[in-house]
Structures are given as structure tokens and as C-alpha cells.
Amino acid sequence: MTQQSQIKLESAIVQDPEWWRGAVIYQIYPRSYQDSNADGIGDLLGIAHRLPHVASLGVDAVWISPFFKSPMKDFGYDVSDYCDVDPMFGSLADFDILIATAHRLGLKVMIDLVLSHTSDEHPWFVESRSSKDNPRANWYVWADAKEDGTPPNNWLSIFGGSAWQWDTTRCQYYLHNFLTEQPDLNFHEPQVQDALLQVAKFWLDRGVNGFRLDTINFYVHDAQLRDNPALPAEKRNPIIAPVVNPYTWQEHVYDKNRPENLAFLERLRALMNGYNAAAVGEIGDDLKGLEILGEYTGGDKRMHMSYAFELLSANKPSAAYVKGVMDHLDDVAADGWACWAFSNHDVPRHVTRWQLTDAAARMYTTLMMCLRGSACIYQGEELALPEADVPFEDLQDPYGIRFWPAFKGRDGCRTPMVWESSNQNGGFSSGNPWLPVSHDHLPRNVAEQEQDPTSILHHYRKAIAFRHSHTALQKGDKAEVGVTDTILHFRRIDGDETIFCAFNLSPEPAEMAWPEGDWRQIGIELGSAGPAPDGRLHLGPWQPALALLVKQ
């Protein structure tokens, strides 16, 4: 690449204010991507070394899960210093190398900001808990006990039990929506919001192109600390917490999803606008995820995009299910922008979760690249890695340890990436990996799939390239969403470009009428079918049909 073309590429990274719309984002879990120093834990220099693989997929950006200083009670989601790198991942200088490498490759970098809570070892919390009248006494959510000594209300932690922990120094309870070592910040305190905006500015000034915002709907709590209402058993929908967790027994109207959150999101968006940066929010809610997505991403003053858990759930997406999600999104978030994901670091990998064959995995990949919205793919997804079976004695995740064996936690989707098969660690590390490398993963390693033109790795490249070759798929509207037999079908439209998309979400053949008009079959490299001699569309198991409307 010439110096002139390099400058042009890096300039393009920051100039398009809507680069995020329709973007494909690749999530990296730092502990498990590539170890560069043989300590068994992935790190920032390891990521930088492997970024050419990411760029080869054709994605637009990488999302890097937390690498900040942390006691690692929740593997980096318990931050003790927002503005430094934990030594196990490297240094700020290493992060600068990662940023420069990504930008040279045409990749934008989004980092995972955990703003709803910190570690209990963060200096802010250490000071806050020291007394009731110190300068940061109100930076966290503190409350007196009831007269009988019990917690102030019935709020529950996602990780099990009460969301309140007694502190013997202040003789008060503090709120923790997750582990007891993750106290919640008090967003009703203006200084807290100001401090967190400074954190975002620190990383924007360092060159990041945006953020993934962890638990974005948990930021603000009800200032009156009102009890959550009970949720009848028939309404419980265990999407973000397993059914064995009583967290699903409440309607969480007061411990999260508060309307006061919107003002902070608007302040954050205003800051990001000055950097052409973008954010994707994680909305964790069993009942109203899409409604909240609409609130948080509608217009141009709040977040750019958010994802809910409708396609991260255990529900295998049938044609009717996906149409229902799309229709509901239109009803409650017509002005919003979704970011779809099938897998991430918190849920079992979708190949296992939905029991997919290779053919089905390819079809769902093609479907994702045709959905209106942006898309997140999780490391190893491009290899169709199944969920790893991690024995109890090797578990690291406190969530899984707490609820074993009914719920095995999140370690099964967090095992190390497999790059080649010359050793038992798959090229991830020459040391002892922090989680065992799955023997089921080794045959699906990157090197071997690179040599097989029919591999799913190459299918991901083709599907992403197909998305990028059509503006209708990246940024267009959708119309005429329907279901015929087991076929989901819709149109994507942008200006003069109209694309017909149909997907047989079934292991059995299905058929429907070919759409009226002059259509040209496209997506042949993705297995796309065309009209049969009888004028109908006959789809094989897990087969798509893609066609471009030819203008007369």
C-alpha cells in the first residue's frame, strides 16, 4: 500500500459520520484471542498480531471487550481504573499499537465501556464507603436498612440473591446489580456523569472510534427505591438470566430502564459527535428490549444503535419468529437502529444453542447480513465453533459456579480462539491457557478453513462482501415482510436499488411464488436459488434466494 493510499484509507475511517449504519462489527474477547507472552492469557499485542485476519473478513470495526485495570472478579467488567490497561493485557503503549494497526488495516476500534458500575477496589468506591460525608459519599447507591435490618427493597442481582450488600463501615447497604464486588454508580449525582464523560473523552482522544456500552439500561435507578412488582410465572421470559435464577420473577421497572437515563445518553452522544464516533448499547431486558431500543436509538440525539436479546435467546429463529421480531421492532422502534447478534461472550454459541447444521449456520449468516440494522459477529463464529464443554473443575465464571449444574455459566463461549492445529492450544498460546482449548474446536481452526474454499470461514467473507456491495442491505429500508410455509421473505430498498430476500428456515424443502417484476438472481456464491421453470421459487433445506429488481 502506498503512503498516499494509506493516508486516504485512514482519513476515510473518521470522515463518514454514518460509518456505523449497516456496519459489521467483530467482537474480540481479549483473554481468549491471542497470547503474545506465553502466560496463557490473551493480550493487546496478541490482538494487534491477529488483526489481519479480522480485516480479511471484510468487517468494518472491532469491538474489544474490557482490558482496563481490574481485580478480574468478573473478568474486566469490574473496573478499578477506567483510564489504564490491566498489566495482564499490556500497557497503554500496546493499546496505541493496536489502534494504529487497526487503522492501517481500515478497521475502526470500539471499546467496551462499563459505566453502570465499578469494582469495589476502584478509588472512587474506596473513598465513598469510607464515610457518609466524604466528597464521593454520594457517588454510589447507598441506602439505610429497614427497621428490621433487611435491605431497603426487593431488588435482585442478576448473579443471584439480593442486589444489596451490607457495608460495616457506613452501616448502610450499597446496590450491586451484578456481583457484590461490582457496586453501582449513582447517576443521580451530576459529578458521576461528568467523571464518566471524561472517561469517554480520554479514549476518544486516544483514537477509538466508538464504544460498546455494557448494560446501558442499568445506569439509572429509581431514586425512591420502590419495590419491583412480581412477575407471574406465565410471563417470565428467561432471556438475560437462566430460569433457575429468581431474577426472572420480577418486572424490573425500578432497578433499571428509568426514563432519567435518556438525559445522560444525550450528553454522551453530544460528546461523541465531535469525534465522528459511534456507540452500540447492550440492552438487557426480558420483556421490553425492543421498546427500550426504540427509546435509546430514536432520532439523532441518543445512541446510534443498540442490541437486545431477541436473537441471542434460546429460541431458534423460525420464519414466524423472525418476522415477529421484525414486526415488533417496526411497531416500537421505527425510528431506531438495531444491531443484530447471534452470539457473544455472555450466551452459549448459537451453533450449539440452536443445534445448527453447517448448512443452517451458513443460511443464518446470510440472513444476518440481509437484516436491516448493523451486525455483530463474535470471535470464532466465523469458524462455526460450537459451545465448548468446560468441566466444573476448570470453570472460571462466578455466574456458572453459582448456578452449576443447572446453568454452566459463560465459560463455554469464552475458550481460546483456534488458529492452527499443530499443538493442543490451537496456536493461541505456548503457555497454559486460562481456559482449556476445546478439542472439538481444533479441527475447525483458521489455518485449515483457509485451505478449504467450501469452509464457513469463506462463507462469512462472501456474505459480508455481499452486504457491502449493496447499499440497500447496508442502510436501506425494508418492506413486504412475510412468511410463506417456512420461508421468511422481505425486500430491502435504497433509492433505485431493491433486493428481494427469501430464506427457508427449515431442514425441509419449501416453495412460494416468485415475486412479480423483472428480477435478476444474485448471491449465487451464497447458494442463492432462482425461479424454477414453473415460475415459482423452490428452496432446498436452509437455502436463500436473493434477487435484484431490474429497472425498465
- Look-up: residue for cell 476500534? 109
Which whole number is the average pLDDT over 29-50? 98
- Please choose, from the candidates 359, 216, 370, 233, the residue with its C-alpha nearest in 3D space to the C-alpha of residue 297: 216
Q: Parallel, antiparallel, or unpaired for β 339-341 and 374-378?
A: parallel
Which whole number is the average pLDDT over 331-346? 96
The Cα 102–Cα 55 span in angstroms is 8
DSSP 234-287: GG---SSS-TTSGGGGB--SSSS--TTHHHHHHHHHHHHHTTT-EEEEE---SS
432 in the same domain as 511: no
Task: Name the least confident of 10-24, 114-128, 256-270, 387-401.
Answer: 10-24
Which whole number is the average pLDDT over 344-350? 96
How much is the pLDDT for 3? Answer: 53
How much is the pLDDT for 356? Answer: 98
506 in the same domain as 391: no
Determine, yes or no, domain membership for 182.
no
- Any idea what the CATH number is for the domain that residue 524 is in? 2.60.40.1180
Residue 13 has pLDDT above 50, yes or no: no
- Look-up: residue for cell 478480574? 72
Determine, yes or no, domain membership for 135.
no
493 in the same domain as 358: no
Q: Is the CB of residue 145 less than 8 Å from the CB of residue 158?
A: no
The Cα 28–Cα 26 span in angstroms is 7
How much is the pLDDT for 8? Answer: 43
Q: Which of 214, 310, 387, 397 is catalytic?
A: 214
Instruction: Please state, as a whole number, how many other Cβ atoms lie within 10 Å of the Cβ of residue 288.
Output: 18
- C-beta pairs of 470-477 under 8 Å, 24+ apart in sequence: 470/494, 470/497, 470/499, 470/548, 471/495, 471/497, 472/497, 472/498, 472/499, 473/22, 473/369, 473/370, 473/499, 474/21, 474/22, 474/23, 475/18, 475/21, 475/22, 476/372, 477/372
Picking from 405, 433, 467, the residue at the C-terminal end of a domain is 467
Q: Is 214 a residue of the active site?
A: yes
Interval 475-531: pLDDT, tens: 999 999 999 999 999 999 999 999 999 999 999 999 999 999 999 999 999 999 999
487 in the same domain as 448: no
* Cis peptide bond N-terminal to 405, omega within 30: yes
Q: Is the CB of residue 179 less than 8 Å from the CB of residue 74?
A: yes
Grid coordinates belonging to 259 = 426514563
Determine, yes or no, domain membership for 180.
no
352 in the same domain as 492: no
Picking from 467, 502, 519, the residue at the C-terminal end of a domain is 467
Interval 424-468: pLDDT, tens: 999 999 999 999 999 999 999 999 999 999 999 999 999 999 999
536 in the same domain as 515: yes
Determine, yes or no, domain membership for 151.
no
Q: Give the chain's domain count.
A: 2
The Cα 328–Cα 310 span in angstroms is 11
Question: What DSSP character marks residue 534?
Answer: T
520 in the same domain as 425: no
Q: The domain containing residue 539 runs over which residues?
A: 477-549
Phi-psi region of 7 (alpha: psi -120 to 50; beta: other; left: phi over 0): alpha
The Cα 214–Cα 254 span in angstroms is 19
Determine, yes or no, domain membership for 125.
no
Distance of CA 25 to the CA centre of its chain: 9
The Cα 19–Cα 218 span in angstroms is 27
Task: List the beta bridge partners of residue 537.
Answer: 512, 531
483 in the same domain as 462: no
Determine, yes or no, domain membership for 133.
no
Q: Is the CB of residue 421 less than 8 Å from the CB of residue 447?
A: yes
The Cα 7–Cα 68 span in angstroms is 30
317 in the same domain as 256: yes
- Any idea what the CATH number is for the domain that residue 204 is in? 3.20.20.80
Determine, yes or no, domain membership for 367.
yes
Grid coordinates belonging to 289 = 428490549
328 in the same domain as 205: yes
510 in the same domain as 433: no
- Please choose, from the candidates 44, 192, 47, the residue with its C-alpha nearest in 3D space to the C-alpha of residue 125: 192
Determine, yes or no, domain membership for 65.
yes
Phi, psi angles (nearest 5°) of residue 278: -135, 160
How much is the pLDDT for 444? Answer: 97
SS3 26: strand
Q: Is 282 a residue of the active site?
A: yes
488 in the same domain as 461: no
How much is the pLDDT for 326? Answer: 97
The pTM of the full predicted model, rounded to 2 decimals, is: 0.95
Confidence tier at 342 by pLDDT (50, 70, 90): very high
Picking from 418, 446, 467, the residue at the C-terminal end of a domain is 467
Q: Which of 35, 43, 112, 282 is catalytic?
A: 282
